[in-house]
Structure 1
């Protein structure tokens, strides 16, 4: 008798398999048709899989994330998106910190659990993003960056999101969604079409992450 496949198996096996197949196929097609470089294709694949692992709260997102940010640091430098390039260095550091916190950041050095931030931290985070964006915009303008305001804004939002993600805070997904909405047209304007597509995928995954992590928070 034919039985229905459990939803847990669909989420843990079929969806990741489909994601891997689709991202590899798109990346190969983009590289083969010269729509993207080999490095951008690698970044596309590792980035999509990495975010999916974060959604699933898998510790394996960190080693893949370290590879992804290293590749993107070079790509963004070549395209004169200096803040995004420098951002990857901070991502690398925060990935290492997050790896440790996810494993030992809970009570009695146990695995960290998903939680929410306080209202006070929400206000401080918003103020920090606003102030740091203005400061970084000034620096990038002096450095003749390609898009000083948007480069600065997305950089500061993403740093805050990465820090919250490293601490398994639900609110990280709100910031990732905001950053991705800005990133997609920014990368299209710079000719990084495959990366723009990747951030469109990120946007969908961030929405999934928000739903999944909300459910994971203890009442």
Structure 2
């Protein structure tokens, strides 16, 4: 008599893919970025846009997890489109551009972009950036990070943090802890490890910090901490 075989373990539902919208006015560049992303595990390019207006409309209809946004596009530019997408809380935006001019860097950060990469970034860097931003983290290319940090050591540099200065008194003690971690440039996982809380709790606290301080992104929160120059 054949012994009973153990029932197979129930299969785990597959994790939902991270959906991406590519906005660039050059079809060849959109095709190239798509070719970089589509072979990556867990990424799904769901749409393309050729200008800022189309990017906003497509983000509204498709609700992607991340938008990769060019800066220079006809009609509505990428920075304006980023500001509108972030203002409507549609999804986070990574600015991906050929140009590293200060007006674009600071304009994108003011608009609430969660990342700023140059098109010279490798395929792995772009893929990692999409995954990080979809998890709620922020990504800046190393040369951009250096420029942003140095800007706050020099007089007369445009301030990225929104005005007027937000009321820190509205934050709870734990939210202040999280804000300090954002100022240190920590990811959600690193914040969770430092504060001995779960990543889900970190995400909740980050959302509340940004809401209370009137900030559009964790990048702006990090810059605000550096700009204050003292304990928060």
Q: Common fold, TM-score beyond 0.5?
A: no
Higher relative contact order (CA 8 A, sep 6+): 1
Q: Look at both structures and tell me which one has the larger radius of gyration over its CA atoms.
A: 2
Relative to the length of structure 2, the TM-score reads: 0.25
From the two aligned structures, give the one with the greater strand fraction.
2
Relative to the length of structure 1, the TM-score reads: 0.26
